[in-house]
A and B are shown apart, each in its own frame.
Chain A
């Protein structure tokens, strides 16, 4: 295959940065690059300081404060507090915490599974539609994207109307017209969790679709042509060409939607408030409830620290994947 001409990394192409720098370097002799690097190093700090100050003020400082409060028994209802590990003890010995962790695990795993599968399915359908110039493909893509741009609170309210267990709930109204009894989508603990997952998948699928659609666009069509010459079926092409080619995008997608789903709370707050009972109380919502409903800053901070550590773990995985893929 011919490499594209004029690439910045292509030393033979005219007008690149390397070409313009080379004569200067030659004139200044062998010690000049080292001097230039040294000067650059010395001059970088002042340029980075504003960024570091911003990061410190808006990211590092709040994180340190949360960590500090987690080692206190602070309450928003009391002006004084003492330092200790009581908040950690109370949170980690509370059976509710492990119940909430379990709910969060089910919510995150089920959400990312369905978001990936549906996102890929829709991306493939949109790509095929575009290839065949099917009318309405663009509109379909826009419709799917609309769910992604909606605020979580709005999504919660919309799905509450759709899944309302009353006879005037959208789905129950349809079921009623077919003579089927109302289903307690939000009132039965087990179904309620799946209802929340459904709403989250509806919101998150578009994000997966965008990433995977971009990934699909980057697959070289020559691979499919070669497969066709070798007699590969559509299914074989999917498993042997599409999926392996999408691997880096799928991995990045997986990590990003894991972090996103893990931090979801506004949609759950509007949809169920964490109920019935604690059936849909995910870790992020639990943290909110502990601080703003129970006013317990100490215990809420412990939960926030746990969330921070888990999110950090996801981020490290993401960074690792990213560097591994870059090396490849």
Chain B
């Protein structure tokens, strides 16, 4: 009797596990959270909340769709002016569309990387939000796996044609369908202090010489800083040196080729340049600890850096954090290459994809995204538009600095949206760190990364 009842007791959890496992779980993640009625928000004429922490529109609206967005691009953005700007735009859309409610899922900045992986998993099992903001870095995976609805009917052909070439390459498929709306982009540039580096360097040699001369002029500064720690920017930022020589990481089928033939040479040149910056003292060894762009801002504030490879968004940040006199000493230029003609810069950004196949939800979502993010959001955040049409028409981007960024975008290169890229990036991050501390040679770095990438690629075939 006692034995039977123990067996029964033990059987309960195991049966439950079996049932859940048989359902093919592991893929089962919640899609969206329900509205938070207690949240603060703005009110319409009747006093009802239209923009809360996780809802846009009236709570009892007859139609709704689920929407996922990163915190920085929502009314919960940490920058007050951004939060205010998004709040206004969301409110305006809600007032114009009283029949619709948006159930929001806001992704905190710290969870963005994990979330992209989770979203892909959710999309594959049909549990993703109806619309979601997707990092341009992984959008190709969604497109390749046919998880997104075409958006052609919501954008004119002129709007699609005006997209920058590196954007079109990714979001317009072979049939000419627009599979995602890539709404903002960024790029990397070389910032330099004009009092220490009077002429912008155009080549690697010129840059090293200029950095050393700056250190001689002011021994308290580091000549050059770049991302060299364990994070994505270490690979992405520095790949500009590889791309500017004409290098390709993978071929058209997504097979790694960076360790073969000319591409291996280009990669070795890039790594040798990074190694030389440290060996000559133009850059300190501590670049292998830099895992955030903010460190460059801090160094600029402390007056301890002569040049650094940073993001275009740091221009406005420097303007905010530095006294005017100090800010005026800073300028930016295209990332130096092996030769003066070798120009390239890594471009990223954010896209919106429609994961629903409900035509009404798709239309409502496209309308919302267009009304908030196709221009207004660029002006709110200062994040670069992805089309020449918007670049030329939006007031914010008419300044001299933004016009120069626009010129640089011509040389923009996006990361290849292939499954093996994360592994290549990770191996290069580790390799660059080990190379800087003298544990590996540039050849070791390329060969090890290539071998790992090939092994991963072949395993996936």
Contact = CB atoms under 8 A, between A and B. Distances in A.
Interface residues of A, number: 53
A164 B2 CA distance: 63
A187 B432 CA distance: 12
Interface of B: 2, 5, 8-9, 12-13, 16-17, 20-21, 25-26, 110, 113-114, 117, 120-121, 124, 141, 145, 220, 222, 229-232, 284-289, 291, 295, 298-299, 302, 304, 419, 422-423, 425-426, 429-431, 433-434, 436-437, 439-440, 459-460
A49 B284 CA distance: 61
Contacts of B20: 57, 61
A166 B304 contact: yes
B21 to A, nearest CB: 6
A45 B9 contact: yes
Contacts of A168: 298-299, 302, 304
A296 to B, nearest CB: 8
B230 A41 contact: no
A167 interface: yes
Contacts of B121: 76
Interface SS of chain B: helix
A294 B422 contact: yes
- Which 3 A-B residue pairs are closest in the complex by CB-CB distance? A273-B230, A277-B434, A275-B230
B13 A56 contact: yes
A236 B70 CA distance: 62
Contacts of B141: 77
A153 B292 CA distance: 14
A75 B229 contact: no
A230 interface: no
14 contacts: A55-B13, A60-B13, A65-B26, A79-B145, A164-B286, A164-B289, A166-B302, A168-B298, A184-B289, A189-B437, A277-B431, A279-B433, A292-B113, A293-B113
B329 to A, nearest CB: 19
A60 B16 CA distance: 10
Given A45-B9, A187-B289, A276 B284 contact: no
A55 to B, nearest CB: 7
Contact of A289 (B289, B426, B459): B426
Given A76-B120, A77-B141, A187-B437, A167 B289 contact: no
Given A76-B120, A277-B434, A293-B426, A42 B5 contact: yes
Nearest to B124: A79
A53 interface: yes
B48 to A, nearest CB: 37
Contacts of A276: 229-230, 288-289, 433-434, 436-437
A287 interface: no
Contact of B21 (A52, A64, A75, A291): A64
A94 B456 CA distance: 13
A34 B2 CA distance: 13
A52 B9 contact: yes
Nearest to A77: B419
